[in-house]
Structure formats: structure tokens, C-alpha cells
Structure 1
């Protein structure tokens, strides 16, 4: 009786979910920080803690973009076109980041 080894040496291990989510959130936090901390004289109508909302919502949108990248990386490891997966992930991340900035700054800097 012989034992067969079914391991493929070229199997790609897909990216864990947490790492791209943290990278996406970090990029989004850097982008929104550029806008939020660049305000010298905020409008008094915005309130004292107006910075909290954009600093929470935008990184969450960036994290969702990172999660989409992890999903597309998983799909690429299952046979989906890798180049198309990366381009689609980039487009979804940029659109999600834009929407996160708009939602975060709605009512303050985005009128």
C-alpha cells in the first residue's frame, strides 16, 4: 500500500483579513487627518468635537476597502484573474475612501 501526497507546492496562502483592513484604515486615517487637522479656525456651528466623526467614519470605510481587497485576493487564489482583482480592489477602495470622506465631513467641511 502506498501513500499519496496531495500537497501542491505552488499553493498560494491568501492574505489574512486583519492586515489589509488595518492598512486600509491607516491610509484613510492619513487622508482624513490631512483635511481635519488642517483647519485653523473651525466654524463655531460645527461644535467642539466636530473632528471625532470624520476620524471614525473614514477609517472604517478604508477598512472595508481593505476587507474587499482580502476577498479579491482570496478569489484570485481560486482562479480569478489576479490583475483584474487588484484593479477592481483599487477602484473599490478609492470610491469607498471618497464616500467615507464625504460621510465623515458632511455637515462640517463638506457642504
Structure 2
């Protein structure tokens, strides 16, 4: 009776976590860059450094979505339905990306 479950002894490699986080943040940075750098003349009341906030907040939201994907990928390797995990990850990422854009552009382009 000394059998061990092989699923409990699987190590979590940091590279499997970091890659989705960086991809999620990169996609979010591209999305927010489209809005921020596509603006020709910002309003003077926004301030001189108005674009710093969206360029920080939105990639953080994207990185969080990527971290959720990595977590769901780990859960699917432990027996969770893989298709459901991917669909749930996409929905959570898109909602998080939308909220990151809204929070980043709040007070400037998003009134």
C-alpha cells in the first residue's frame, strides 16, 4: 500500500508559467499601443504624461490573464477538461483585457 499518485509529484516549471504571462502582457501592450499612439493630438487637460497609466495598467491586466491561462493549463494536466479550460481562459483574458483598457484610459480617452 505504498503506491503514490504520479500526478501529485509533478513539478511546476517556472518557464511554463512565465511564457503565458509574457505573451498575455505583450498582446495587451499591442492593443493599448494602438489606442495611445494612434492619437494625433491629445487634449491639454490630460497632462503631459497621460499615456504612462494605460501603458502600465493594461499590460498588467494582460499578464494576469496569461497567469490565469497558465493556472488553467496546470489544472487541465491534473484532470480538468482541457477544452473547457481553454475556453474559460480566453473569456477571462478578454474580460480582463477590456477592464485593463477601461482602467488605463479612464479620465482620458474613456470618459
Using structure 1 for the length normalisation, give the TM-score. 0.87
Following TM superposition, by how much is the alpha carbon of 1:17 offset from its aligned partner in structure 2, in angstroms?
A: 1.0
1:47 aligns with 2:16: no
Deviation, structure 1 residue 7 = 7.3
Number of residue pairs the alignment of both structures matches: 103
User: What's the RMSD between the two structures over aligned residues?
Assistant: 1.9
| Gap regions ≥5 residues in structure 2 | none
When Rg is computed on C-alpha atoms for both structures, the one with the higher figure is 1
Q: Which runs of 4+ in 1 moved over 3 A?
A: none
Counterpart of 2:82? 82
Structure 1: where are the runs of 5+ without partners? 1-5
> Using the alignment, how far apart are the partners of 1:92 and 1:17 within structure 2?
17
Select the structure that is richer in helix: 2
